[in-house]
Amino acid sequence: MEVSVDEWLKNRSEWLLLDVRTPAEYEQGHIPGALNLPLFDNEERARVGTLYVQQSREKAVDEGLRIVGPRLLRYVKRARKMAGGKPICLYCWRGGMRSGSMEWLLATAGMDVRRIGGGYKAYRNHLDELLNEKPWQFIILGGPTGSGKTPILYELQKQGEQIIDFEGLAHHKGSAFGALGQEPQPSTEHFINLVHDELCALDPYKRVWMESESKLIGKVFIPDLLWTKMLTFPIIRINLPPDVRAEHIAKEYGIFETEKLIEPFERIVKRLGMAEKQRAIEALQQNDIRTAVRIALVYYDKAYNKSLEKDWGTPLLSLPIEEDNPTETARLILKELDKLNK
């Protein structure tokens, strides 16, 4: 039985989702929450694909049957164990032969099974449909480096607001120092899937908060359509004093070894300048992280102000904040926003 992406989303908590593509395809990007039950391994998939292109569909099918024939019972046993009695939903790249074959096998073995029509490709296309068809109300939280935007974002969430944490999904904090202490980044493809998954869980009729990121976060990109839409929504800028921001950054990054902090300064030397880079490194070697942070902030503040003017325009609100207190800042933001909406 074929189901749509929307139908799967409605039943996702009740169905086990299985990705029957190769391990390499799954690793590159998959529907969040899916488990991998590959019909072919990476080399087998390439061999079958080559036969399809260079010889014929019949030759490719024959080779596929030769490969999977001895494994049919293994697939059934694995699927039963993975499902634990839950209904199963399958997908491959286009919802075609691989998922269709596995659906037939598991259904023949008595399991409750269906497949996503259009497969992984349909899921990938669903993001643009979701963004275009729903009345999203994004609000952008802005502020120069060290403003503590991510903690404020989570305080807004505690106070009943919806958020998307791009940096958390990307495993990167956006700057040259952003990979420190983070897990390896996903591929851009899978990052987009994670963003898609977050959006599916939100109410498009209520406001959604997100940070004023660059389109590039480390090595991954915010989806084109989402980025374009973000630029059309209001930005609320928070303004903490430079010394307060420097202290925030020093606490956040002071836990890392000196050598790990020196590497990012080497990467921004062209924009920071050789003399300032050397001064920052000397400060780090003397265990004076605050001086190094203030040097970096000169560069990052210039870059942020340029980005604010180019991408975001005039803020809806610009709030002077004296203390690094995410809870109180979140309350102030909501209070001032309510005043505007009255």
Which residue among 20, 92, 122, 280 is the active-site one?
Answer: 92
Q: Which amino acid is at 330?
A: A
Map tokens 């039985």 to a residue: 1
Q: How do residues 119-166 score in pLDDT, each as one tens digit?
A: 999 999 999 999 999 999 999 999 988 999 999 999 999 999 999 999
Contact 124, 51 (CB under 8 A): no
Coil, helix or strand for 19? strand
Percent of the chain with pLDDT over 90: 66
Dist. CA 321–CA 336, nearest whole Å: 13
Q: Please tell me the class of the 2-124 domain.
A: alpha beta
Question: 2 — phi, psi (to 5°)?
Answer: -95, 135
What's residue 116's pLDDT? 97
pLDDT category of residue 319 using cuts at 50, 70 and 90: very high
Name which residue leads in pLDDT, 234 or 196.
196
Distance in angstroms between the alpha carbons of the first and the last residue of the chain: 51
Alpha-carbon separation of residue 283 from 7, 94, 246, 258, 278 (angstroms) = 57, 55, 14, 10, 9
Helix locations, 201-238, DSSP H? 224-230
What's residue 264's pLDDT? 86
Active site residue 92: yes
Dist. CA 29–CA 23, nearest whole Å: 10
Please compute, for residue 290, the number of CA atoms within 13 A of its CA located in the half-sphere on the CB side: 8
Q: What is the mean pLDDT of residues 278-298?
A: 90
Q: Please tell me the class of the 134-341 domain.
A: alpha beta
pLDDT at position 298 over 90? no
Contact 124, 187 (CB under 8 A): no
* CA-wise closest residue to 169 among 140, 137, 191: 191
pLDDT category of residue 189 using cuts at 50, 70 and 90: very high
Coil, helix or strand for 142? strand
pLDDT category of residue 320 using cuts at 50, 70 and 90: very high
Model confidence, pTM: 0.92
The two structure tokens encoding residue 302 = 């210039």
Dist. CA 66–CA 292, nearest whole Å: 63
Please compute, for residue 109, the number of CA atoms within 13 A of its CA located in the half-sphere on the CB side: 19
Percent of the chain with pLDDT over 70: 100
Name which residue leads in pLDDT, 180 or 271.
180
What's residue 299's pLDDT? 83
List the domain boundaries for the chain. 2-124, 134-341
Contact 243, 202 (CB under 8 A): no
Dist. CA 129–CA 4, nearest whole Å: 13
What's residue 57's pLDDT? 82
- Is there a common fold for 2-124 and 134-341? no
